[in-house]
Structure 1
């Protein structure tokens, strides 16, 4: 909890470098930024925000004096895929809309309105904007996502800000990705347009349009998901190569080598070297296709968060990533066991077979995906942030060992 509060303090100094004060339960804590605002400061010079549910456990930061923006922020950022989550979102929305929330939530951020992120965004977009902020649970790639609204309540877009080396790299990567795919024509997939980029307080800032998702959208069906996977893979020309001769395998081996003497490295290197030399289709992958980054209607899928976009990756990785994150929602170990079967079934679906993925290569692709995912987690030091999938030696390496044996016996497509 102390780490969460420290993160909140540091984040406030990034977003509002003009200064401020931090209150817990009505008692003033340490100052924020270069100048501490005192209780006697002119209220017109600063604004109050509420960390929700508290400064010790912040997930969203909402304006204390703007019921509408706060309620819209709860609605926009809520993950309502369960009955409990829908009830929590409804209660919070009602509390803010009725004006009760500021009386119930006692922690406050009082921040200077001069030289603030709101001021910078209003200037960049040539319109006044108000903000609600999502920061999510502790992860290595935790960064603020800002919902931008006009004072009249119209959604302008979303902004992301890099607050450390990793998140800055990801924000810059997403900026490049949105530029690269801006002219792409995917039949059933819509992506956000890039609206603005700049540097803010030492880190990158990007603004992208808001996609038309909400109560009329839901998680994609299996068919929608696989259409998404195939169409994303075609963002660059798909090539078919033996695994041993692919640039992807060479790059993955180099990424493992860069990890140095991490104890997981020998197992990852050995798993990669033991995989059969099958012929695979290589294309693009979103890199983080989960229920939090995609929504669907009967006719279209809307996909955002493109910071992990890569090219020349085995087709099917996005389907495996989505399925893994679904399976582990009720527990990592039983979820991984389910994924070992359900992931293989996804890769054998006719849509992916038609995209060039031979059914006999499913275990090899699954093993490659796990090696890639483990390498990503280790590079990002996700284990230090406590992510529930981050302990790769606990679940990933055992699953990888089993997949390696399965790949050796089931592959029927030698290079």
Structure 2
């Protein structure tokens, strides 16, 4: 077994307490016990795709409609090459060829399973397709919930360790709060169910109408989202060094203990100029994978990192950074230094109270915040793409800190 197959079998024990057994298509599945109650005695068979050594989705073998729908749903917002591969897989499942082409199997023994719990909570039959994604610290199963005919019911998330359990609980709280929020141009998924499964936190939310009729947001749509999310909390202008955010970030850095990067982050925060900044809410992970738009409306999901005390503009910077690094971290970050600054100097953001001379400070704060998050979550150990903060983030942060000081000095001179 490699690390991925170990992860897969460990995950099977969470989703299906009866356990899962990896094998090949012709292998004999676990046998059911004659004493099992009706409805809980069937042996389920799943396909890890593309393989058990590199699982990204887990699909039911016996329901090709649900499998094809799962492949299509999880390919949304991906690259062109990934969408082409997804289209080929979808065709293979729809035609019934996929089980012949994909040999690895996850056999799940008889007993009460996550499907039973979801069917009971939603009062309807449920078939699941599971998205895992690449290895990272906050990796958790996202379950697409379908009817047996392949119609989407919603999505479920399950915490599988301390970090992901905290994030699932945080998103549950966020969706409850957002249910009463006023977001004129943004649709947020409705919370359908919150509870536990196998001693792990579970939430179920509705599926947003994201598909062929939606696309990535334009620059203007993105910035409107940023501003409306920021306005979830009353926006206040506060000087950085006396702000609750500054105190909270300093405390989070101190909690890193003896991590080698902590002194540099603490020094960078201490040396930033004490400029006045507008503070409000931010989504915390606004990327192309968590937002889609029509000309009139944005659909935003994955609210597990919603926070109500951050400098205006963090969401714009986060979206832009994740876009720029798609073609490589180091060249992408260099481009982000200019494109991120242009976003924050856009008239929409400037009109909300962020002064031009404070832009480098906000960008530096965002990088300090991001580095602190990655270090607390141990993203580097899990293989996160941007997690090697000492390799790219700290050098860029030093440059931004110098820019921030220079802009602040020029602003004082001009004033």
Counterpart of 1:174 (choices 166, 171, 175) is 171
> 1:413 Cα deviation (Å)?
5.7
Counterpart of 1:189 (choices 176, 186, 190) is 186
> Does 2:234 correspond to 1:241?
no
> 1:150 Cα deviation (Å)?
1.3
Counterpart of 1:62 (choices 54, 59, 63) is 59
Name the counterpart of 1:33: none
Please, which runs of 5 or more residues in structure 2 have no aligned partner? none
Change (3 A) 1:81 1:143: closer
Change (3 A) 1:235 1:80: closer
Name the counterpart of 2:21: 21
Name the counterpart of 1:404: 401
Tell me if the contact between 2:195 and 2:203 (Cα under 8 Å) persists in the aligned partners: yes
Name the counterpart of 1:37: 30
CA–CA separation in structure 2 for the residues paired with 1:366 and 1:19: 47
Name the counterpart of 2:75: 78
Tell me if the contact between 2:77 and 2:288 (Cα under 8 Å) persists in the aligned partners: no
Tell me the SS of whatever aligns to 2:89: helix
Tell me if the contact between 1:288 and 1:321 (Cα under 8 Å) persists in the aligned partners: yes
CA–CA separation in structure 2 for the residues paired with 1:128 and 1:254: 47
Q: Deviations over 1:147-204 (max 9, x none)?
A: 0011233211100000000100000010011111111121111100111011111210
> 1:133 Cα deviation (Å)?
0.3
Name the counterpart of 2:8: 8
CA–CA separation in structure 1 for the residues paired with 2:235 and 2:281: 8
Name the counterpart of 2:298: 301
Tell me if the contact between 1:275 and 1:407 (Cα under 8 Å) persists in the aligned partners: yes
Name the counterpart of 2:157: 160
Tell me if the contact between 2:76 and 2:211 (Cα under 8 Å) persists in the aligned partners: no
Tell me if the contact between 2:284 and 2:315 (Cα under 8 Å) persists in the aligned partners: yes
Counterpart of 1:230 (choices 211, 215, 227) is 227
Give runs of aligned pairs for residues 279-318 of structure 1, distance below 5 A: 279-318=276-315
CA–CA separation in structure 1 for the residues paired with 2:186 and 2:341: 24
| Higher alpha-carbon deviation: 184-193 or 390-399 | 184-193
Tell me the SS of whatever aligns to 2:286: coil
CA–CA separation in structure 1 for the residues paired with 2:224 and 2:145: 31
Tell me if the contact between 1:48 and 1:109 (Cα under 8 Å) persists in the aligned partners: yes
Change (3 A) 1:288 1:356: same
Tell me if the contact between 1:19 and 1:37 (Cα under 8 Å) persists in the aligned partners: no
Tell me if the contact between 1:26 and 1:107 (Cα under 8 Å) persists in the aligned partners: no
CA–CA separation in structure 1 for the residues paired with 2:194 and 2:286: 24
> 1:17 Cα deviation (Å)?
0.5
Q: Deviations over 1:6-47 (max 9, x none)?
A: 00000111000023422146457xxxxxxx924999996111
> 1:111 Cα deviation (Å)?
1.2
> Does 2:114 correspond to 1:117?
yes
> Does 2:353 correspond to 1:356?
yes
CA–CA separation in structure 1 for the residues paired with 2:118 and 2:273: 52
CA–CA separation in structure 2 for the residues paired with 1:225 and 1:289: 9
Name the counterpart of 1:48: 45
CA–CA separation in structure 2 for the residues paired with 1:80 and 1:235: 26
| Higher alpha-carbon deviation: 72-81 or 307-316 | 72-81
CA–CA separation in structure 1 for the residues paired with 2:222 and 2:23: 45
Cα-Cα RMSD:
1.8
CA–CA separation in structure 1 for the residues paired with 2:284 and 2:20: 38
Say how many residue pairs are matched.
408
Change (3 A) 1:302 1:135: same
> 1:81 Cα deviation (Å)?
4.0
> 1:80 Cα deviation (Å)?
4.9
Give runs of aligned pairs for residues 127-142 of structure 1, distance below 5 A: 127-142=124-139
